[in-house]
């Protein structure tokens, strides 16, 4: 594939970290750069959202985390994709309970940068 840089798992892990920081900050401009225009999210509230829907929910404050941490358990190259899997912990507002989730993120190089293409997260009971 022409114009695609070699896969760097460290670069994708750095994008994971940056995406979490931008999500907590509700930095929609940065998230828009990190996320593919084709982004699909199977959210922990059992809905599928596209990029614009998630950004709108963040802008409206419907989604608002005061913390967002993750433990990456696997990060693997699959052809031109990188799949990241693990466990994450979020706090929606200061003082609220920690919510633990399992997640899978799929990244792909688009326009010369790594972008999140697919995300699935579900709450661990």
Asked whether residue 29 is domain-assigned, the answer is yes
In a domain, 1, yes or no: no
Q: Give pLDDT, residue 5.
A: 54
Counting the structural domains of the chain, the total is: 1
- Best CA proximity match to 89, nearest among 99, 75, 79: 99
**pTM (two decimals):** 0.90
Domain for residue 108, yes or no?
Answer: yes
Rg (CA), the chain: 14
Residue 83: give the domain boundaries: 9-123
31: domain CATH number? 3.10.450.50
For 110, phi then psi, to 5°, come to -135, 135
The predicted model gives 83-109 an average pLDDT of 94
**Residue 105 belongs to some domain of the structure:** yes
Residue 112 in domain:
yes
Is residue 4 in some structural domain?
A: no
Tens-place pLDDT, residues 11-39: 999 999 999 999 999 999 999 999 999 99
What pLDDT, on a 0 to 100 scale, did the predictor assign at position 6?
A: 59
Q: Establish if 110 belongs to a structural domain.
A: yes
How many Cα atoms occupy the beta-carbon half-sphere of 30 within 13 Å? 13
Residue 2 inside a domain? The answer is no
**Mean pLDDT (the chain, rounded):** 92
Query: Can you spell out the DSSP letters for 43-107?
Result: -TTS-EEEHHHHHHHHHHTSS--SEEEEEEEEEEEETTEEEEEEEEEEESSTTSPEEEEEEEEEE
pLDDT band at 118 (very low <50, low <70, confident <90, very high): very high
């Amino acid at each position: 594939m022409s114009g695609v840089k070699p896969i760097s798992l460290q670069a994708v892990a750095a994008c994971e970290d940056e995406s979490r920081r931008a999500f907590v900050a509700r930095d929609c401009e940065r998230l828009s750069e990190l996320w593919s225009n084709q982004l699909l999210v199977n959210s922990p509230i059992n809905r599928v959202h596209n990029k614009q829907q998630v950004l709108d929910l963040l802008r409206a404050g419907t989604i608002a985390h005061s913390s967002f941490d993750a433990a990456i358990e696997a990060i693997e190259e699959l052809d031109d994709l990188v799949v990241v899997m693990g466990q994450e912990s979020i706090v929606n507002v200061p003082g609220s309970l920690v919510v633990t989730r399992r997640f899978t993120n799929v990244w792909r190089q688009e326009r010369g940068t790594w972008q999140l293409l697919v995300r699935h997260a579900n709450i661990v009971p």
